[in-house]
Amino acid sequence: MPHARIAAVQMVSAPEVAPNLAAAARLVAQAAGNGADLVALPEYFCILGRHESDKVRVRERDGSGPIQDALAGMAQRHRLWLVGGTVPIECADPARARSACLVFDRDGRRVARYDKIHLFTFDAGDERYDEARSIEPGDTPVALDSPFGRLGLSICYDLRFPELYRSDPPVDVWFVPSAFTATTGAAHWETLLRARAIENLAYVVAPAQGGLHANGRRTHGHTLIAGPWGEVLAEQAEGEGVVIAEIDANRLAEVRKSLPVHSNRRLA
């Protein structure tokens, strides 16, 4: 597809699954009404709990459960591709879950699953996070072919590890569903996203959590879509919303021809 409309959804997710699924359905419908061909939801779209263990409590078997069914239904209902942020999926450890980004095609069929590889650890004294307490890491990068070009999947903290984004063959559109903290987001969010776009001459679609949550956590927001030259094509600072941008295969080919970083690369 030479041109497509991609939407990135920003949410301020609650500790309960049901209202989050309702909000996601409403925002995906809004994106579809604005002509989106592909929609991406943020990390933790289905639950941002009061406790780290809350996500484990609602984890689902791979391929079965109300969260996965809701995503498949949204994609099928609106006849669009859907990148389902993150869904807590069962793993062998009963105290943890996999944080899985699931992709559904326009028929509601799941076509990809990526499990978050890099788990967020942060200690600034009175602000601490350790995702490994409730999440089991994945170990396999995932990219897939689609009507919109080659899509690459990553999640939040993965953004700080550029080697994940050096894909062969190159990815055309990278997804980064996130829940960046207000502290780290203000310092690094936009810089990292634009860097990944520039380094790889790729579109970067970053749906985010953006606001004050019931657990007292404030997320950075600033959902954005960046172009392959590093330009910000669309952005929303805070609160619920949908940002939309056009992806253009001709523009992608043009910048990659003018600056052939993929063929000039020498280090693996």
Examine the residue annotation and report whether 257 is marked as an active-site residue of this protein. Answer: no
How far apart, in whole angstroms, are the C-alpha atoms of residue 154 and residue 222? Answer: 17
Which listed residue (43, 60, 90, 136) is catalytic? 43
* Distance (Å) of CA 47 to CA 66, 71, 183: 13, 14, 21
Buried/exposed code over 77-86 (b: 16+ C-beta within 10 A; e: otherwise) = ebebbbbbbb
Report the Cα–Cα distance between both ends of the chain, in Å, rounded.
Answer: 30
* Other C-beta atoms lying within 10 Å of the C-beta of residue 15: 16
DSSP type of residue 195:
H
Which listed residue (46, 116, 131, 136) is catalytic? 116
Examine the residue annotation and report whether 116 is marked as an active-site residue of this protein. Answer: yes
Contacts of 137 (CB under 8 A, 6+ apart): 115, 116, 117, 118, 119
Phi, psi of 194 (to 5 degrees): -65, -35
Which listed residue (46, 91, 101, 156) is catalytic? 156
Half-sphere exposure of 247 (CA within 13 A, CB side): 30
Examine the residue annotation and report whether 43 is marked as an active-site residue of this protein. Answer: yes
How far apart, in whole angstroms, are the C-alpha atoms of residue 185 and residue 140? Answer: 26
- What are the residue numbers of the active site? 43, 116, 156
